[in-house]
Structure 1
Amino acid sequence: MRVFLLVLFLLLKPVASIRAESSAPEGGINSIQGRVLDRDGLPVEGVTVTLSSTIHKRSTDAKGYFQFQHLPVGRYTVAVTGIGLQPVVQPADVVNKQITSLTLTILASVQELHEVKVIAARGLPARDSLPDVGPTAIYAGKKTEVVNLNVVDANLITNNSRQVFSKTPGVMVWESEGSGMQVGVAVRGLSPNRSWEFNVRQNGVDISSDPFSYPEAYYNPPMLAVERIELVRGGASLQYGPQFGGLLNYVLKKPATDKAFSLESQQSVGSYGLFSTYNSLGGTVGRLQYMGYIDYRRADGWRQNSRYSIFNGYASVSYAVTNRLRLSAELTRNSNQTQQAGGLTDAQFAQNARQSQRGRNWFSTPWTVPVLTAEYVVGDRTRMTLNVHGLLAERSSIGFTAAITTPDVPNAAGQLPNRQLDRDTYRNWGSELRFITQYTAQGRQHALSTGIKYFRGNTHRQQQGRGDTRSDYNLTLQTADFPRDLTLQTTNMAAFAENLFRLGARWTLTPGVRIERLDNAIAGRYSVAANGIENGVSRSQQRLFALLGVGTEYKLAPFATFYGNYSQAYRPVLFSDLTPAALTDFVIDPNLSDSRGFTVDAGLRGSYRRFLNYDIGYYYLNYANRIGTLTRLDASSRPFQYRTNLGQSVSKGVEAYLEIDLMAALSSRSKVGHLNLFTSLGITDARYLNLPTASVSNGQLVEGNLRDKRVEHAPRFIGRFGVTYTYKTFTLTALLNRVGDAYSDANNTVTPTANGQNGLIPAYRVVDVSTSLRLARRYSLRAGINNLTDARYFTRRAGGYPGPGILPADGRNAYLSVGIKL
């Protein structure tokens, strides 16, 4: 607490000198204004203009204009930056009561594929990498990707992940329901279950249930509200904490900085009763910026019993207290009700994939995320950020959860069975302080990024409740209490430091360390016996350890940069690991520990002239100390289930992205538009190096090992192949998704089980077509057809809710969207 009070004092100290800081009287000019042009003299819209030693940032408008007002007299440096652009800097003097005018010209881009004139017309390229040094973190030497949603041809209405990540190689997508409320993605042979192998954030703040002990992302922002998605693979663990998958950060759209009022509205309709409305307001008034949106969508769903309604709301306000200090507040709210169509057996799927055997299953996850942020610019090269964030959320489900082979039908008395009611309540809060500075040593500029984090999570889990016999959504409990009632707590304190050393004009080296203190505790009851005796639990665990890593980057040529990274990571013991699968004959290892391992990346990325862009890399992911369950015999030779650390897997493979502009390859200037061909490939070999098994036969323990078995949910091939035609503000994209087969269990079961829960997940191909058109810079028209060939496929066999059984992916569906920006 003393640390945070000290930091708060340092941040607020400049407030006392506001008047001394501004030498201009109230209403004075003291401004810098200008235009950003491309090399052909055309205005560049949407790039970022920053002012040195201040918190001020502006985005250029449609005419390339920007302006900074009410500045203290003095010399500044104006910088034009953008992902994929070579920064342009120019000094500027602010004179009392005068306007300083500038013209800045972008001469070249880092990613030469994206012509500056295309940037001016269309904004940023659809895919890029993060800069070596960002506003709050260092990315040099890491495998990073940025998806700019403003220029992606995709069905953003329902968060169609296979389109959104079409240029991000190796991303596995679970497509188990069509609402898009829960995004399930993973990389490198990890499980896509609600993206729980990623550290999922929104605007840099945790949004999953509990990032350490229950990291499922039940909430994801509507993609219509997202400006870009930042993905940092294994090398993210030092700066962002656990999870082998890395960082998945949704960055929401920012308010307009060139006007006091701006509006965006997107109205959409589609197949199966889809209706969506997205509306946002934002702007800048003096030192105040504000932004908010309301997003609502509903549909009946492609399958029977799969209707949904989702509301998303967001509001933010920020105030520049001084030219160095900005205070911000934001609030995110999501509420939803989704009917869960349930699973199918293989025979039912083959007969009619749209059918549903569960008409009474419902799911809801109201989510609220408040955030307070302070940004303080210490100097031209040094910045501090402090955020305090919370999470008030729930996960509630009610339904008939028996195996899909058990029909949900009335009994002899005509009464439907009682449904099962499960509820989680999450009450989390945390704070993160980050400090980044660039300094000069030995004649070269280096960078240091440090930070500290505190997190406190509290989950109240109530399960196996006796619900009613109705078919609507309600949380009515028919008994006095839930048989399972647990309180789960997590406390995390962490500190990290990474330093980028420039060893030469082309070579950087970035070592780093993260110190983790992690405590978790579980208390309450697992069950209540028939005689009223509770099966209670009280257990806690504390650990302190370090994660190490190092990254390097070497610019081989203007069109080729080598990057490499080694980073340790860990997967904390989850609350599900501390909960027995059965009420009897189940023992949890008192020394159960976190899974530990590391990731190695090595790759080559760059662009050649203006027509070729690429990123090709190799990775090796060691996932040790995996948690599993073994059969054991007690002193009386009776079998019991023992949960402990028992396995190790290794994923290795190639991730490749390649895009070529055929028109730019043939001619430096095309009068008929641009034709881009792109592919993103993920080739994965994910296998168990060690996974002991045991069973009992004739009273004897029979042990085995699943060594060399493929890891479940890990297809060996994920390929996305696309073509995009662009003419001025018109685009048309066709995308082919081809995904290889995968297993649903570690035994690599091929023949499906009768309940549909285990068996092969066959390979599949899906084609999507989408198009967009901008008119008069204000109006837009988007349309598309997903699953053009109406393929029947599935990506998941669920063992529990919302299954069990096969969860079919959606068939052919279409959408049409009309938008306006003012």
Structure 2
Amino acid sequence: MQSVQKTLLTLLTLMLSLSASLQANPAISGKITGKVVDENNEPLTGINLRLEGTTFGAASGIDGNYEINNVPAGRYTFVASGVGFETEEKSISITDGETLTIDVILSVANEELQDIIVRSSKVNKFSRERTEYVAKMPIENIENPQVYNTISSELLAEQVVTSFDDALTNAPGVFKLWESTGRGGDGAGYYSLRGFSAQPTMINGLPALTNGSLDPSNIERIEVIKGPSGTLYGSSLISYGGLINVVTKKPYNYFGGEIDYTTGSFGLNRVTADVNTPISSEHEIALRVNTAYHIQNSFQDAGENESFFIAPSLSYTVNDRISFLINTEFQHAEQTNPTMLFLNRSNPLFATNLDELSYNYENSYTSNDLTIKNPTLSFQGQMEYKLSENWTSQTSISRSSAESDGYYTYLWDIADGNGTFARYLSKQQATRLGTDIQQNFTGTFEISGIENTLVAGLDYFEEETIGNSTGYVGFGTITVGEENSGAGISKPAADQALASASVTNSRTEQRVYSAYVSDVINFTPALSVMASLRLDRFDNIGDTSTDDDNYDQTALSPKFGIVFQPIVDKVSLFANYMNGFSNVAPRVQDDGSTKTFAPEQANQWEAGVKTNLLNGRISTTLSYYDITVSDVVRQDPNRANYYVQDGENYSRGFEASVTAAPVDGLNLVAGYSYNDSEVTKTDNANYLGRRPESAGPKNLFNFWASYRVSTGALNGLGVGAGANYIGENKIMNRASTGVFALPSYTIVNASVFYDTDAYRIDFKVDNLTDQEYYKGWSTINPQMPRVIKAGFTYKF
């Protein structure tokens, strides 16, 4: 342990010394350009154009043109002034990497400003061409050999999204496997991603633990990063299929915000507020607070969820070299357990499809008297320091806490052939604590005239789990198809059933020490290569009351990518090799000895094409991937109770995504994915040669289109429509049980909205055709029928 810490400290010292002499990478910023003319369309020279309360500004040249560079994302007051002309202003907003064109027509003094015309290069508002999180450095999507999909806040607003699950239906290849149960340890929702299960564990690229469901009110965008990403993100919290990173809303240096109220079916009432304000006269300190209160009943005979969420965020720009950012999220949620019928995992199934099951999806088999609470806290602090012209240091710390407190129940098929399910009950009392510290250095330099963009970093992650939950006790039975099977379920009855249950007190810990480096080498404007490597030292302390489960493990995780742009900035051909890994505990052999293993490995090969055409109006990604998981520990086929490390399975597939704005006002987003997964080498005959149940459906399709009138009497009026197709899902696929398949289905959604600078009115129908459908992962989980929502947003 001490040697690892000493090595990481030495690496940090070396990088600090090196960075002082290297040259750096500019931060992501936007640009404002335009032309200033008089009433006769003659250019005006020397007009002052500035962003109020900042040092950003420019003067118009002899041809009337001007340019303001390196403008941080945010909202501003744009001011145009000059001798002999009125000083006028207009509120604007700019996003990372965006170019705003602001043309100004001025009249002489004492007359009104004739016009300020604002145009944006970001006509495709559903796309995100640059992010600093996927590669841990700011590079354009078309230059990145890795595939990722972005779900923007603009898209979420158009779709009147009130849940995190609904937001993720916009990402190709993402499918919800399992509801958020709220139970300790893994109570967050599960999603299939390239054939593997994943949970949302990242906020702003840093670990953020949760046992519940995330609230969408503070989401600026969701980044679904595809493929095994162990090189930059490690292994503790992500999947071989990729990871889900939530990017939160950040403060800006202008007062503004909005308040929204949404109501709808099944008692939906949701109030959100987004308020931003500078809190210093020079506007170098800004505070933004997002908050939400949400309550809704189930569509079934019982069930409800209620939550309160608040997220203060503070930014402080000390000077042009150093800045601080603090993000905090707190959520208190309480819900009844969603109805999930657990199929028996060992015995033959009494039903292999929904028709044979004869389940009435309006029956919840629960009571509103039994709820579970999930208080969640996430804190992130970040300091950025510009070391030189071309190098930046970023120091980040995150602290997260996720609790489970209350009653958790589930229904288990007892395999009596009559559709009888036993109800099991536990009183949950569990807490997960996570701490992460990262130090990154990002910059550019040249070697023999070849430009390099590099990130080098250190990462320390610690997770602690404290459990004081009861064991599971029987709490009655139900028969599928029976009515009122929730009768008699109450808190006093539950407490009586739990009176004799034992309480398990546990405390476990694990720590991970990591160092990584990633370099993008630009040989020419058309050809670049990415080479990355991570050293990861895993220290499992396990149960703190014993040393029997302690073990250490070291992993190396490489990544390599190549991008060739036959049409620079418009078309790129890419290929990548990416690695992920999972730490494996030692096993006791039949002779009493303990055998240690190397980390389990996942290796992906992928190739595809990305386009960014018509000045960003059309962005597409097409790719084929092949992921092989190897070094899976299995029982030795030749010796009972001995273990070897040669198990394998694969996941292969094709993905396509498109975001487009072919004409002004029309925005489209669409995606398709096909996945083929199989367990090819295992000691468990249940799974050999079969598709893993965690892989979800083979075929997924998503689509959304909206059109907003931008001129004339109907300016601001818009409509939206979309659909999601989900293929057949084998939720149980084992030799011992047989196959239970949920059928394919299509969900259609539609909306009408009226959007102005001052307010927005929305009317949305989800599941327009009132489709009855289910999701699951060895479970059967009924989903929402038709839902009607109406919302009003006041902007200021």
The 8 Å contact of residues 485 and 524 in structure 1, kept in 2 or not, is answered as no
2:602 maps to 597
The 8 Å contact of residues 411 and 424 in structure 2, kept in 1 or not, is answered as no
Which of the residues 254, 261, 264 maps onto 2:258? 264
Q: In the TM superposition, what whole-angstrom CA distance separates every residue of 1:49-104 from its partner, at most 9, and x where no partner exists?
A: 636xxxxx35254x75699xxxxxxxxxxxx985675799xxxxxxxxxxxxxxxx
> How far 1:808 moved relative to its partner?
0.7
Q: C-alpha separation between the residues in 1 aligned to 2:59 and 2:593?
A: 65
Q: C-alpha separation between the residues in 2 aligned to 1:550 and 1:9?
A: 26
Q: C-alpha separation between the residues in 2 aligned to 1:417 and 1:186?
A: 27
> How far 1:601 moved relative to its partner?
2.1
The 8 Å contact of residues 720 and 752 in structure 2, kept in 1 or not, is answered as yes
Q: In the TM superposition, what whole-angstrom CA distance separates every residue of 1:452-491 from its partner, at most 9, and x where no partner exists?
A: 0111211123344478987249997966984433321111
2:196 maps to 190
Q: C-alpha separation between the residues in 1 aligned to 2:697 and 2:59?
A: 49
The 8 Å contact of residues 340 and 410 in structure 2, kept in 1 or not, is answered as no
Q: How does 1:640-659 map to 2 (within 5 A)?
A: 647-659=647-659
Q: C-alpha separation between the residues in 1 aligned to 2:542 and 2:565?
A: 50
The 8 Å contact of residues 454 and 493 in structure 1, kept in 2 or not, is answered as yes
Task: Give, as a single letter, the amino acid of the residue that structure 2 aligns with 1:308.
Answer: N
> How far 1:765 moved relative to its partner?
1.2
> How far 1:353 moved relative to its partner?
0.8
Compared CA separation, residues 382 and 609, structure 1 to 2 (3 A): same
Deviates further, 332-341 or 468-477: 468-477
Which of the residues 286, 292, 296 maps onto 2:293? 296
Q: C-alpha separation between the residues in 1 aligned to 2:80 and 2:606?
A: 40
Task: Give, as a single letter, the amino acid of the residue that structure 1 aligns with 2:535.
Answer: I
1:790 maps to 770
| SS at 2:700 equivalent | strand
Which of the residues 513, 516, 538 maps onto 2:536? 516
Q: C-alpha separation between the residues in 1 aligned to 2:551 and 2:211?
A: 26
The 8 Å contact of residues 142 and 235 in structure 1, kept in 2 or not, is answered as no
2:490 maps to 471
> How far 1:371 moved relative to its partner?
2.3
Task: Give, as a single letter, the amino acid of the residue that structure 2 aligns with 1:288.
Answer: I
| SS at 2:298 equivalent | coil
Q: C-alpha separation between the residues in 2 aligned to 1:734 and 1:248?
A: 25
The 8 Å contact of residues 457 and 515 in structure 2, kept in 1 or not, is answered as yes
Task: Give, as a single letter, the amino acid of the residue that structure 1 aligns with 2:577.
Answer: Y
| SS at 1:692 equivalent | coil
Compared CA separation, residues 552 and 588, structure 1 to 2 (3 A): farther
Say whether residues 1:495 and 2:515 are aligned partners. yes
Which of the residues 440, 463, 481 maps onto 1:434? 440
> How far 1:348 moved relative to its partner?
9.2
1:770 maps to 751
Compared CA separation, residues 601 and 779, structure 1 to 2 (3 A): same
The 8 Å contact of residues 451 and 496 in structure 1, kept in 2 or not, is answered as yes
Q: In the TM superposition, what whole-angstrom CA distance separates every residue of 1:87-141 from its partner, at most 9, and x where no partner exists?
A: 99xxxxxxxxxxxxxxxx99xxxxxxxxx94657xx7621234359989426532
The 8 Å contact of residues 189 and 684 in structure 1, kept in 2 or not, is answered as yes
Q: C-alpha separation between the residues in 2 aligned to 1:353 and 1:35?
A: 66
Task: Give, as a single letter, the amino acid of the residue that structure 2 aligns with 1:744.
Answer: I
Say whether residues 1:327 and 2:324 are aligned partners. yes
Q: C-alpha separation between the residues in 1 aligned to 2:328 and 2:370?
A: 30
Compared CA separation, residues 643 and 721, structure 1 to 2 (3 A): farther
Q: C-alpha separation between the residues in 2 aligned to 1:645 and 1:793?
A: 40
Say whether residues 1:31 and 2:55 are aligned partners. yes
Task: Give, as a single letter, the amino acid of the residue that structure 2 aligns with 1:784.
Answer: K
> How far 1:161 moved relative to its partner?
3.5
2:728 maps to 741
Q: C-alpha separation between the residues in 1 aligned to 2:406 and 2:607?
A: 43
Q: C-alpha separation between the residues in 2 aligned to 1:275 and 1:473?
A: 30
> How far 1:499 moved relative to its partner?
0.8
Task: Give, as a single letter, the amino acid of the residue that structure 2 aligns with 1:241.
Answer: G
Say whether residues 1:462 and 2:468 are aligned partners. yes
> How far 1:153 moved relative to its partner?
5.3
1:814 maps to 788
The 8 Å contact of residues 129 and 145 in structure 1, kept in 2 or not, is answered as no
Q: In the TM superposition, what whole-angstrom CA distance separates every residue of 1:398-424 from its partner, at most 9, and x where no partner exists?
A: 2444525699xxxxxxxx999422332
Compared CA separation, residues 713 and 302, structure 1 to 2 (3 A): farther
1:356 maps to 364
Say whether residues 1:550 and 2:560 are aligned partners. yes
Q: C-alpha separation between the residues in 2 aligned to 1:137 and 1:377?
A: 14
State the identity %: 16
Q: C-alpha separation between the residues in 1 aligned to 2:330 and 2:571?
A: 43
Compared CA separation, residues 191 and 267, structure 1 to 2 (3 A): same
Which of the residues 697, 705, 717 maps onto 1:723? 705
> How far 1:797 moved relative to its partner?
4.2
Say whether residues 1:693 and 2:678 are aligned partners. no
Deviates further, 495-504 or 309-318: 309-318
Q: C-alpha separation between the residues in 1 aligned to 2:543 and 2:718?
A: 56
2:248 maps to 252
Compared CA separation, residues 512 and 433, structure 1 to 2 (3 A): same
Compared CA separation, residues 806 and 714, structure 1 to 2 (3 A): closer
| SS at 1:128 equivalent | coil
Q: C-alpha separation between the residues in 1 aligned to 2:548 and 2:462?
A: 19
Q: C-alpha separation between the residues in 2 aligned to 1:537 and 1:484?
A: 18
| SS at 1:789 equivalent | coil
Compared CA separation, residues 293 and 625, structure 1 to 2 (3 A): same
Equivalences, count? 675
Q: C-alpha separation between the residues in 2 aligned to 1:772 and 1:349?
A: 41
> How far 1:512 moved relative to its partner?
0.9
Compared CA separation, residues 483 and 32, structure 1 to 2 (3 A): closer
Which of the residues 613, 625, 631 maps onto 2:631? 625
Q: C-alpha separation between the residues in 2 aligned to 1:613 and 1:330?
A: 31
Q: TM-score, normalised by structure 1?
A: 0.72
The 8 Å contact of residues 234 and 245 in structure 1, kept in 2 or not, is answered as yes
| SS at 1:224 equivalent | helix
Task: Give, as a single letter, the amino acid of the residue that structure 1 aligns with 2:793.
Answer: G
Q: C-alpha separation between the residues in 2 aligned to 1:239 and 1:87?
A: 33
The 8 Å contact of residues 282 and 291 in structure 1, kept in 2 or not, is answered as yes
The 8 Å contact of residues 35 and 66 in structure 1, kept in 2 or not, is answered as no
Unaligned runs of 5+ in 1: 14-27, 52-56, 68-79, 89-104, 107-115, 209-216, 408-415, 526-535, 635-639, 665-672, 695-703, 753-758, 799-804
Which of the residues 46, 54, 59 maps onto 2:74? 59
Q: C-alpha separation between the residues in 1 aligned to 2:426 and 2:241?
A: 33
Compared CA separation, residues 451 and 721, structure 1 to 2 (3 A): same
Q: How does 1:46-195 map to 2 (within 5 A)?
A: 50=70, 57-61=72-76, 85=98, 117=119, 125-130=125-130, 136-137=136-137, 140-152=144-156, 155-159=159-163, 161-166=165-170, 168-174=171-177, 176=179, 182-192=188-198, 194-195=199-200
> How far 1:686 moved relative to its partner?
1.0
> How far 1:169 moved relative to its partner?
2.0
> How far 1:613 moved relative to its partner?
3.1
Q: C-alpha separation between the residues in 2 aligned to 1:34 and 1:780?
A: 34
The 8 Å contact of residues 264 and 819 in structure 1, kept in 2 or not, is answered as yes
Task: Give, as a single letter, the amino acid of the residue that structure 2 aligns with 1:471.
Answer: S
Q: How does 1:196-345 map to 2 (within 5 A)?
A: 200-208=201-209, 217-219=210-212, 221-234=214-227, 236-242=229-235, 243-257=239-253, 259=254, 261-284=255-278, 285=280, 286=282, 287-344=284-341
> How far 1:619 moved relative to its partner?
0.9
2:719 maps to 732
Q: C-alpha separation between the residues in 2 aligned to 1:7 and 1:770?
A: 56
| SS at 2:328 equivalent | strand
Task: Give, as a single letter, the amino acid of the residue that structure 2 aligns with 1:244.
Answer: Y
Task: Give, as a single letter, the amino acid of the residue that structure 1 aligns with 2:516.
Answer: F
Q: TM-score, normalised by structure 2?
A: 0.74
2:378 maps to 369
Compared CA separation, residues 475 and 772, structure 1 to 2 (3 A): farther
Task: Give, as a single letter, the amino acid of the residue that structure 1 aligns with 2:455.
Answer: S
